[in-house]
Structure 1
């Protein structure tokens, strides 16, 4: 069990509309590279039952840590806009080296959408 973690990935479809779905992954090796894990998540959600089609086919390309177990939670409804340099996961690192641990919650989103939202953080209803 060492090196295996339970990780929650929040699939963010829209920041403005707060449209996201959390998906839990069990037995995640923290020795996977971030790039490999992103591909594993993409492959998994493409065939995961119960997930609406717009979430399955979206062009996710970036992961960011939202919350660590026993850490402070953000008040942002989708994810914090702070500390990108520390919390956005670099593709070449292993999950462990990028700061992912057991019970970490991460957002998986399109970097372009995030940049637009961050420049103008308005929510729509």
Structure 2
């Protein structure tokens, strides 16, 4: 078992406008809590080079698995709205217990935005 995983975090700024940026995190400890990993991501993106300011200061509060390594990718543009019960990470779980493994991709977004998008899943250009 690898101690450190590579996890891609898709920062979702707007579901409607399909405005997101993938950010790769290396040396992710899968036994840390989801809450701790979210904080690491928030701390990191504030100073990460090449990330536009709107992405740095956003109020991200929820993570959801988009796809696993060697799993089927969804053809949703930002992320699937299916299987939230299984795929939304619970803050008090470890990443591993929540289903995150090496090369997993997760979306990081504001739950309120996602709820509005799910209620009316349209994209604007």
TM-score by length of 1: 0.98
Match of 1:62 in 2: 62
SS of 1:5 mapped into structure 2: strand
Aligned to 2:53: 53
Report the Cα distance in structure 1 between the residues aligned to 2:95 and 2:85, rounded to whole angstroms.
15
Match of 2:102 in 1: 102
Q: Structure 1: which 5+ runs fail to align?
A: none
Aligned pair count? 125
| Other structure's SS at 2:113 match | helix
Q: What CA deviation, in whole Å up to 9, does each residue of 1:74-115 have, x standing for no partner?
A: 010000000000000000000000000000000000000000
Q: Does 1:28 align with 2:28?
A: yes
What is the distance in 2 between the residues matched to 1:88 and 1:27? Answer: 22
- Structure 2 residue runs of 5 or longer lacking an equivalent are none
Query: How many Å separate the matches in 1 of 2:112 and 2:3?
Result: 32
Aligned-pair Cα RMSD in Å: 0.8
**Moved >6 Å (runs of 4+):** none
Return the alpha-carbon distance in structure 2 between the equivalents of residues 4 and 29 of structure 1: 5
